[in-house]
Structure 1
Amino acid sequence: MRPDVDLLVAGAGPAGAAVAIRAALAGLSVVVVEPRSAPIDKACGEGIAHSAVSYLSRLGVELTGRPFHGIRYLDDAHSVDALFTAGPGLGVRRTTLHAALMSRLASLNIPVVPTRVGPINQTPDLVTAGGLTARYLAAADGLHSPIRRQLELCGDSSGEVRRGLRQHFQVSPWTDLVEVYWSKLGEAYVTPVADDLVGVAILTSARGTFDSHLDAFPALKRRLGGAPAASAVMGAGPLRQRVRARTAGRVLLVGDAAGYVDALTGEGIAVALRTSAELVDCVRADRPQDYEAAWRRVSWECRLLTASLLWARNRPLLAPRIVPAAAALPGVYRTIVNRLS
């Protein structure tokens, strides 16, 4: 049997779209399967690191947003800034990012089929899903990936469950940094995404509404100054997703589907883009067995730093000392932020 395409991509989020674009630019035939209507929104911090912005530009994805030049940590008594050395990141509404990705897919004539993948069947040479047969399937179907479950690649569930809630506010950004407010409840990320709009994402293991969580960050509430909400509240989680392996035959997992630690360092898109490049290289070389090691190699530093920070965050004696430690050791803090960005 001849395959319909070289690569079938499940999911048109940043990871899936990046895989499809890079594969098409490399001369592979690609089809994307995505049941959701564009543009797709998601509860996320909406800050894109400089490295990710540069990579998307090389793929021909044209982004508009508001630049930010570093990360600021704050608690009740401390504030410390880490400015980027490589260049600014970009605050971009998730819907704006997705629209740009879809525009690039269209410019490359990459079909986006509005259906679900459904059952997956494999032979040693082919994989069939969503009514199409391909040489490979890239599973970029999100944090709670149905494909990952179908292929029994899910790892053990973690103990503490953290979730994220996000809402936008109609107010001019008061800084050109992404601010991270720390409290006993969790963290609140403020990202400037337009000249008159900021996004606020709260990460916590506590139950409650967005408004009740916001009460745990009085300095942030004062900054917002009663600004009107500009979007509905969106949620995501549980964030921690353990995965036993990134490959199963001719299916390769990428993006959040490949495993997730936490949104604490805000590097989800950057890691997804780096690993998407490795996936395409393995498909081009017809060596899917190399992908697991490649995925680990390009993501290990971010995974280690995120897991370490999350470990400290979950220790009652250490959590209140994170921001004071960053303020006391600003050089170390800047180094870590710039390694991640």
Structure 2
Amino acid sequence: MIDVLVGGGGPAGLAAAIHAALAGLEAVVVEPRTAPVDKACGEGVMPGGVAALRALGVEVTGRELRGIRYLDGDARAEAAFRGRGGLGIRRTTLHSALHRRALGLGVRMLPGRVGEVRQSADRVTAAGITARWLIAADGLHSPVRRALGLEPPGRPHGRYGLRRHFHVAPWTDFVEVHWSRYGEAYVTPVGDDLVGVAVLSRGRRGYEDHLAGFPALTASLRGPGVTEVRGAGPLSQPVRRRVAGRVLLVGDAAGYLDALTGEGIALGLATAGAAVRCLAAGRPDAYERAWARLTRRHRLLTGALLAAGRRPGTARFIVPAASRMPRVFSAAIHALQ
């Protein structure tokens, strides 16, 4: 019987497997897709996420990010990261680096899906494998979470995200967040001649229709996109709890609010580490509190911004207010590092 079965081989799942291997636990990852896996992602890793990757021994390259900039017409607000910088990195590059590190530590990768989960007092069985613990890292619409009844009743609601890349030299080393009355566009430099642009909105329209709401940004892009459009949503995914017997949820599977503050990767890495530390200490029950502590600032700030931006009449004041209170804006960005 192995120690940890990880359902899902994305960044959070691979990070969980790496943490397990570094803790001396035998880990197996079950994932149906072939590495590297691409998906809709802002591709900006916050400084805390960069530090977490280094602590795992994961070597990644990308464009250094100095901070966050909000823009809305003539109004702008920006804050540089304090100390260490962030990183703009293609999702596929990040996934490849995590995959290589996991393999190098002896983590086994098996093709397949978790499917039915059966558990008893001392073991859990899924995908034909029996383990002491199952870490579910199977994404925003986690089948494991749903099968275990960890979702509240009612259909998920919230916003949707779309992302593609443009062949243009980055004009900034900040992540730029362009605001409009109906959503945001996130510009992340990910290469010397490549930027990713993700749009978030409650409206379900085509990517070009969304992008048309940001004329100043489209003028900077100078041409059509060079990668296919990838989407995700609805982004809001409430969860009853993150521990169910011998199953722990990490990453997006553990619950998601919104991509507005760009912390998805950093939080996925952090929650994966917390889950494994709790298992290694024989305290799986402590993970729920650890998850709440790690995500508290993100949930508070993201919730406040979502509430302010829910109505077009209120959304147009967000960037002007941030520009008039630079210390408050900087404090918020520093809290998310």
Q: TM-score range by the shorter chain?
A: over 0.9
Pair 1:229-2:236 in alignment: no
**1:16 aligned to which of 5, 13, 16:** 13
Q: 1:67 to 1:181 in 2, by over 3 A?
A: same
% identity of equivalent residues:
57
**1:307 aligned to which of 285, 303, 311:** 303
| Residue aligning to 1:202 | 199
Pair 1:173-2:170 in alignment: yes
**Which residues in structure 2 correspond to 1:36-51 (within 5 Å)?**
36-51=33-48
Q: Which amino acid aligns with 1:256?
A: D
Per-residue deviation, 1:112: 0.6
Per-residue deviation, 1:98: 0.4
Per-residue deviation, 1:159: 7.4
**Which residues in structure 2 correspond to 1:261-340 (within 5 Å)?**
261-340=257-336
Per-residue deviation, 1:216: 0.2
**2:29 aligned to which of 15, 28, 32:** 32
State how far apart, in whole Å, the 2-side matches of 1:274 and 1:25 are. 15
Per-residue deviation, 1:12: 1.1
CA deviation vs aligned residue, 1:291-324 (integer Å, no higher than 9, x gap): 1111111111111111111111113432111000
Q: Which amino acid aligns with 2:302?
A: T
**2:254 aligned to which of 250, 258, 262:** 258
Per-residue deviation, 1:157: 4.6
Q: For the Cα contact (< 8 Å) 1:154–1:242, is it kept in 2?
A: yes
| Residue aligning to 1:79 | 76
Pair 1:94-2:91 in alignment: yes
Q: For the Cα contact (< 8 Å) 1:177–1:191, is it kept in 2?
A: yes
Q: For the Cα contact (< 8 Å) 2:164–2:198, is it kept in 1?
A: yes
Per-residue deviation, 1:249: 0.3
Q: For the Cα contact (< 8 Å) 2:72–2:179, is it kept in 1?
A: yes
Q: For the Cα contact (< 8 Å) 1:40–1:98, is it kept in 2?
A: yes
Pair 1:151-2:148 in alignment: yes
Per-residue deviation, 1:204: 0.4
Figure out how many residues of one structure are paired with residues of the other and give that number: 337
CA deviation vs aligned residue, 1:203-248 (integer Å, no higher than 9, x gap): 001121111111000010111122x422000000000000000011
Q: Which amino acid aligns with 1:284?
A: A
State how far apart, in whole Å, the 2-side matches of 1:330 and 1:306 are. 18
Q: For the Cα contact (< 8 Å) 2:156–2:236, is it kept in 1?
A: no
Q: For the Cα contact (< 8 Å) 1:68–1:88, is it kept in 2?
A: yes
Q: For the Cα contact (< 8 Å) 2:156–2:234, is it kept in 1?
A: no
Secondary structure, in 3 states, of the residue corresponding to 1:67? Answer: strand
State how far apart, in whole Å, the 1-side matches of 2:264 and 2:156 are. 21
State how far apart, in whole Å, the 2-side matches of 1:305 and 1:271 are. 14
Q: For the Cα contact (< 8 Å) 2:21–2:106, is it kept in 1?
A: no
| Residue aligning to 2:62 | 65
Per-residue deviation, 1:185: 2.2
CA deviation vs aligned residue, 1:149-189 (integer Å, no higher than 9, x gap): 00000124577531000000000000111100000120000
Q: TM-score under structure 2 normalisation?
A: 0.98
Structure 1, 281-290 or 187-196: larger mean CA deviation: 281-290
Q: Which amino acid aligns with 1:206?
A: G
CA deviation vs aligned residue, 1:93-143 (integer Å, no higher than 9, x gap): 000000001110111111010011110000010000011100000000000
State how far apart, in whole Å, the 2-side matches of 1:297 and 1:54 are. 18
Cα RMSD (Å) of the superposition? 1.1
Structure 1, 165-174 or 70-79: larger mean CA deviation: 70-79
Q: TM-score under structure 1 normalisation?
A: 0.97
Q: Which amino acid aligns with 1:56?
A: L
**Which residues in structure 2 correspond to 1:180-195 (within 5 Å)?**
180-195=177-192
**1:241 aligned to which of 233, 237, 240:** 237
